[in-house]
Amino acid sequence: MRSSSRALAAVALAAAVATGAAACSSSSSSTTSSSSSSSATSAASGSSSAAATANLTIWADTTSGGTGPSDLALKALAQSFNASHPGDNITVDFISDANIKTQLQTAMGAGNEPPVFWTWGGGVLDQYIKAGKVVPLGTTSTATYLSNFLPSTLGAVTFNGQVYGVPVEGTQPVYFFYNKQVFSDNHLTFPTTWSGLLSTISTLKAKGIAPISLAEGGQWPGLMYLEYLTDRIGGPSVAKALQDNAPDAWKNPAITEALTDIQALAKAGAFNKGFDSTQFNGQSDALVTSGKAAMQLMGDWDLGSANQTFVNAGKMGMAAFPSVGSGDPADLAGNTATYLSISTAASPAQQAVAKEFFSSALASSDYAKKQVAANEVPVTTGADSYFTGPLAAYQKQIYASVQNAPSFTYSWDQMLVPSLGTPMLTNLQKIFDQTETPAQFEAAMTTAAASAS
């Protein structure tokens, strides 16, 4: 008897596991038509109405269990806001970077979203806006505190002229980070042109050094090559067309050329051995800092994730992506910033308190200084004078490049609607592996884009 019930349990278990993914997200599929849109408009004009007090929770992203310097800066900001606003109580719930998108998506679907949530802007945020889930904050003229931020950093949260989020973490543009020692040992300077990069690669290769460390095991690091090459070859309008899902946007000649260049790099052995299983989490950094590889294309968070002794000793070089075609080499790609948005599930009082928090705390120079102390590069205007400490030189360079960038293309996997992100990363990895041609990539993405709304 016992073993037959075990068999039954096995059958039931298999069924439960198989339907599990659908189960946890579908618990209340029909309750999502909330009473949200009415409250959204009433509070939209909201300058801070000092009378309203409320408790509210912020869902914030963390890569270090809520104990990283930038996490603590946000927490301290909320605490000082609570101290100066009696009756209000803002708490910050830190959610692991690996889970927060899924958790938020599930909460949004079930109508359990927090009053204030973390976002990267772009296609995911747009999806929530279209579902009536996000409170518009106004424009830089109706909500003047928004002009405290560098204009290029609000693009990712601006839809139909309305701003839907406020920068919470520093900007994260992508650069080449390189081992200065390796370059000087081989009498090289960092190249500023594509042909220069190719000859640098062949020089390094001949010395037995892996020219470029690539953490393609995570699939997203390869995307930065496509983003930069496309921009350098065809300018920012190519990516804009992708975001707007223009017909045949994926068949742009600039993308074809970018994909061809990537395959040429891979064929020339530019990337480290086993790049397809190399992870960013430690491995790809260690390749550069140990001198086994010479450089890595990475977001500026690399300054915080690479060996700190190495970085603080000034051994890490930082350079812009070389110029390739007619695109402006001052253009940037990466995460312009991360943002906080207010959900329409928040009560009018909560919305007012959240806006007060945005304008008096997040947009303040005080928070910008806290961010600098946490090794972030804030996107608040005038923050360039705050940089001191061992990373100041890098931070000033980053801030200036963001300030001067004619265009700052948002990471495509955040910019595009989610249904295109995975096909893009999967097919791009096949490009790096030479198991797919640029034409096949473009055909696959065109089909996927046609079925995406």
Assign residue 62 a region: left if phi > 0, alpha if psi is -120 to 50, beta otherwise? beta
Q: Which is nearer to other proteins, 133 or 232 (CB)?
A: 133
Which of 113, 29, 57 minimizes the C-alpha distance to 357? 57
Which of 355, 357, 351, 345 minimizes the C-alpha distance to 42? 351
> 75-94: which residues touch other proteins (CB under 8 A)?
none
Which of 188, 179, 173 minimizes the C-alpha distance to 334? 173
> 217-256: which residues touch other proteins (CB under 8 A)?
217-219
Q: Is 208 in the site for other proteins (CB under 8 A)?
A: no
Structure tokens at 156: 């990712």
Q: Which is nearer to other proteins, 149 or 178 (CB)?
A: 178
Q: Which is nearer to other proteins, 31 or 193 (CB)?
A: 31
Measured from the CB of residue 110, what is the shortest distance to other proteins in angstroms? 9
With beta carbons less than 8 A apart as the criterion, state whether 205 and 268 touch. Answer: yes
Three-state SS at 435: coil
Q: Which is nearer to other proteins, 102 or 192 (CB)?
A: 102
Q: Which is nearer to other proteins, 62 or 289 (CB)?
A: 289
Q: Which is nearer to other proteins, 130 or 406 (CB)?
A: 130
Q: Is 433 in the site for other proteins (CB under 8 A)?
A: yes
At 338, which amino acid appears? T
> Binding segment for other proteins among 64-72, 124-132, 154-162, 241-249 (CB under 8 A)?
124-132
Residue in 10, 264, 330, 393 binding other proteins, rule: CB under 8 A: 10
Residue in 59, 128, 190, 280 binding other proteins, rule: CB under 8 A: 128
Q: Is 11 in the site for other proteins (CB under 8 A)?
A: yes
> 413-432: which residues touch other proteins (CB under 8 A)?
418-423, 425-427, 429-430
- Who contacts 7 (Cβ-Cβ below 8 Å, separation ≥6)? none
DSSP string over 177-224: EEEHHHHHHTT----SBHHHHHHHHHHHHHTT-EEE---GGGSHHHHH
Residue in 47, 63, 80, 105 binding other proteins, rule: CB under 8 A: 105
Measured from the CB of residue 172, what is the shortest distance to other proteins in angstroms? 21
Residue in 118, 120, 228, 275 binding other proteins, rule: CB under 8 A: 275
Q: Is 32 in the site for other proteins (CB under 8 A)?
A: yes
> Binding segment for other proteins among 60-68, 139-147, 278-286, 350-358 (CB under 8 A)?
278-286
- How many other CB atoms sit within 10 Å of the CB of residue 66? 17
Q: Is 272 in the site for other proteins (CB under 8 A)?
A: yes
Q: Which is nearer to other proteins, 193 or 279 (CB)?
A: 279
Residue in 63, 79, 106, 381 binding other proteins, rule: CB under 8 A: 106
What is the total residue count of the chain?
Answer: 453
Residue in 22, 51, 83, 206 binding other proteins, rule: CB under 8 A: 22
Residue in 35, 160, 309, 451 binding other proteins, rule: CB under 8 A: 451
Question: What's the angle, vertex CA 115, arms to CA 347 and CA 409, rounded to 5?
Answer: 130
Report the Cα 175 to chain-centroid distance in Å: 14
Structure tokens at 289: 């800092």
Q: How far apart are CA 373 and CA 394, in angstroms?
A: 14
Matching residue, tokens 């190719």? 198
Measured from the CB of residue 299, what is the shortest distance to other proteins in angstroms? 19
Longest dimension (CA), the chain: 77
Q: At what angle do helices 36-44 and 348-357 cross, to 10 degrees?
A: 40
Instruction: Give me the residues paired with residue 97 across strands.
Output: none
Q: Which is nearer to other proteins, 13 or 330 (CB)?
A: 13
C-alpha Rg value of the chain to the nearest Å: 23
Q: Is 102 in the site for other proteins (CB under 8 A)?
A: yes
Q: How many CA atoms lie within 13 A of 160 on its CB side?
A: 6
> 147-176: which residues touch other proteins (CB under 8 A)?
none
> 44-63: which residues touch other proteins (CB under 8 A)?
none
Cα distances (Å, whole numbers) of residue 399 to 1, 332, 450: 71, 12, 38
Q: Is 447 in the site for other proteins (CB under 8 A)?
A: yes
* Size of interface with other proteins, in residues (CB under 8 A): 72
> 394-413: which residues touch other proteins (CB under 8 A)?
none
- How many other CB atoms sit within 10 Å of the CB of residue 60? 24
DSSP 134: B
Q: Is 291 in the site for other proteins (CB under 8 A)?
A: no
Q: Is 29 in the site for other proteins (CB under 8 A)?
A: yes
Residue in 48, 55, 186, 276 binding other proteins, rule: CB under 8 A: 276
Residue in 268, 330, 439, 450 binding other proteins, rule: CB under 8 A: 450
Assign residue 122 a region: left if phi > 0, alpha if psi is -120 to 50, beta otherwise? left
Q: Is 65 in the site for other proteins (CB under 8 A)?
A: no
